[in-house]
Amino acid sequence: MLRHAPTPFASTRGKDRIKYAKLAVFWKHANRMFRLMHSAWRCNCAPLHCVYIPVHQATVNTRICLEILLKYSSDNNIVRPYPWRSIPLLIDHFDIPNNTAGTTPVKLRRAVRFDRADSGAGASAIGGTDDVLAAMSGSSTPQLKRAAGKLPAARSPSNNPPGVTPTAADQGLCHLAALKSQTAVLGSHIHTLNDDTSNDAYKLVTATSAMHDGLIWNLADILTGRCALELYHGPRLSIAHAIAVSFLQLYTTPWLNESEMSTSIYIPASADGKRLLHEQAFVLSHFLHDPDPDDSIFALLGILLLELCYNKPLEEHHIFKSRPESKADPLVRSAVASEWTKDVKYQWSEEGARAIGWCLHHASSRDEGWRMKFATNVVEPLKTLCGQAGLNQSGKSLVKSPC
């Protein structure tokens, strides 16, 4: 999300309006970032590649940038050594200067010299991608199976003469990640993605990342109890607010798989496996998702917020215990969610009930101003609720324990 320095939740209404106005237009940049990243793959293993996007509170900032952990694969069933594993990046926006009449077009300086595919470590790093892709046939990930036959053939590197810098279109992001995942210096500007349809460009800059490749649990497993670790009241409230902000920024973009929201949000476990690191929650996104937005997504978000409020899935509501065959019926689920919302005020006060109720009953993407209304009716009440609970943006109490 947008980079920020952590601050308490309290802020003035005027500042909030400015912040939300900036967040409400971020999706346009996120769309361009995804399209440019998607088009920069030139490898047969592209269906495997994915990103982790941190789910955390964003605030107003003059920079527009998306923090990601670019990963070769999220599929643990592939046991072959990867050509590369992961590289943390910032996708940082900047404007391309407009050209004036009669002047020479501005030429962007390339940020990195791409090695030739047949030279040195680069060639050996990339050599096994077809074999790794073949292993995907045994994968348990349906999304990757479906995509395996859809990807166009990889493009061969152009025969650039020695000393000429190949472009990203020649060798692509997979080659770049293999070269830079182990050697890039923190903060290095390693490549630029140019948008031909606007005056926007995005730098790929190496970064640090709190996200790791250890044991992770998706939110659905945590809420259903399949994970033995528990999210307590404060972390659940903080995650609910962060999800709402992420939704404001990323909904209608391919980064967010809105139809599988609870199974696309992951929370790592600590190294000793004894607690959930909720402040490191992230969205898992593949480069295969083609969004088809409709208003049902708001109801799904409202149900997810309900489940975070009560710390259990909607299916455990007492109505479904007597009518288990109705659990998959969208109309019944909507009715049960509406009934469940009546008691939210006893858990999350009137502010929480207001946020969930708006998602379930009033939200519509057909309204051109829905993002600002979403900020006012969902993000802001959850933010206020976090402030009332004495939480900072990581879900930790601002009040020192007397113990």
Residue among 48, 90, 97, 96 at smallest CA distance from 71? 48
Minimal CA–CA distance to 148: which of 75, 45, 78, 74?
45
pTM of the model: 0.77
Is residue 9 predicted with pLDDT exceeding 80?
A: no
| Residue-wise pLDDT tens digits, 328-344 | 888 899 999 999 999 99
Which pLDDT value is given to residue 13? 58
CB of 347 closer than 8 Å to CB of 308: no
Span 231-263, pLDDT tens digits: 999 999 999 999 999 999 899 899 987 777 888
Q: How many residues does the chain have?
A: 403
Question: What is the per-residue pLDDT for 239?
Answer: 94
pLDDT at 33: 92
Tokens standing for 60? 């107003």
The answer to whether residue 80 scores a pLDDT higher than 70 is: no
* Cα atoms found within 13 Å of the Cα of residue 167, Cβ hemisphere only: 8
- When pLDDT is averaged across residues 123-133 and rounded to a whole number, the result is 41
List pLDDT tens digits, range 40-60. Answer: 887 888 888 999 999 874 544
DSSP class of 393: T
Domain extents for the chain?
13-206, 219-264+292-388
Quote the strand ranges of 126-231, DSSP E. 189-194, 200-206, 216-218
The alpha carbon of 60 is separated from its chain's Cα centroid by a whole number of angstroms, namely 18
Query: What pLDDT score was predicted for residue 211?
Result: 64
Burial of 319 (0-12, 13-18, 19+ CB in 10 A): middle
Sheet bearing 86-95, strands edge to edge:
189-194, 200-206, 86-95, 65-71, 50-54, 282-286, 265-268, 216-218
Q: Computed from CA positions of residues 253, 203, 125, 169, in that sequence, does the dihedral angle turn out positive or negative?
A: positive
pLDDT at 210: 64
Question: What's the pLDDT tens digit per position in 148-174?
Answer: 444 434 333 333 333 333 344 446 888
The arithmetic mean of pLDDT across residues 117-146, rounded, is 41
Contact 308, 327 (CB under 8 A): no
Nearest to 23 by CA among 379, 262, 291: 379
Beta strands in 108-188 (DSSP E): none
pLDDT at 391: 67
The fraction of the chain above a pLDDT of 70, given in percent, is 68
pLDDT over 50 at 28, yes or no: yes
DSSP designation for 276: B
pLDDT at residue 359, rounded to an integer = 95
**Residues 334-390 pLDDT 10s:** 999 999 999 999 999 999 999 999 999 998 888 888 999 999 999 999 999 988 887
Q: Parallel, antiparallel, or unpaired for β 200-206 and 50-54?
A: unpaired
Q: How far is CA 10 from the centre of its chain?
A: 25
The answer to whether residues 209 and 88 touch, using CB atoms and an 8 Å cutoff, is yes
The residue-averaged pLDDT of 128-147 equals 45
**Does 112 have pLDDT greater than 60?**
no
- Using DSSP's 3-state secondary structure scheme, residue 200 falls into strand
User: What 8-state DSSP symbol labels residue 313?
Assistant: -
Q: Which of 142-146, 257-261, 347-351, 393-397 has the highest mean pLDDT?
A: 347-351
pLDDT digits (tens, 9 = 90+) for 279-333: 899 999 988 767 777 778 899 999 999 999 999 999 999 888 888 888 888 889 9
Close Cβ partners of 272 (under 8 Å, ≥ 6 residues apart): none
Instruction: Give ∠ CA 174-287-169 in degrees, rounded to 5.
Output: 40
Q: By the 8 A CB rule, do 211 and 280 touch? A: yes
Banded pLDDT at 15 (limits 50, 70, 90)? low
| 201, 106 Cβ separation under 8 angstroms | no
Nearest CA-CA partner of 348 in 204, 236, 267, 262: 236
pLDDT at residue number 59: 47
- 185 band by pLDDT with thresholds 50, 70 and 90: confident
State yes or no: pLDDT of 209 exceeds 90: no
Sheet strands (E) in 72-229: 86-95, 189-194, 200-206, 216-218
CB 311 within 8 A of CB 236: yes
Segment 103-130 mean pLDDT: 36
56 contacts 242 by C-beta, under 8 angstroms: yes
Task: Tell me which residue has tokens 């990323």.
Answer: 250
What is the pLDDT of the chain when averaged over all its residues?
74
CA distance 40 to 169: 6
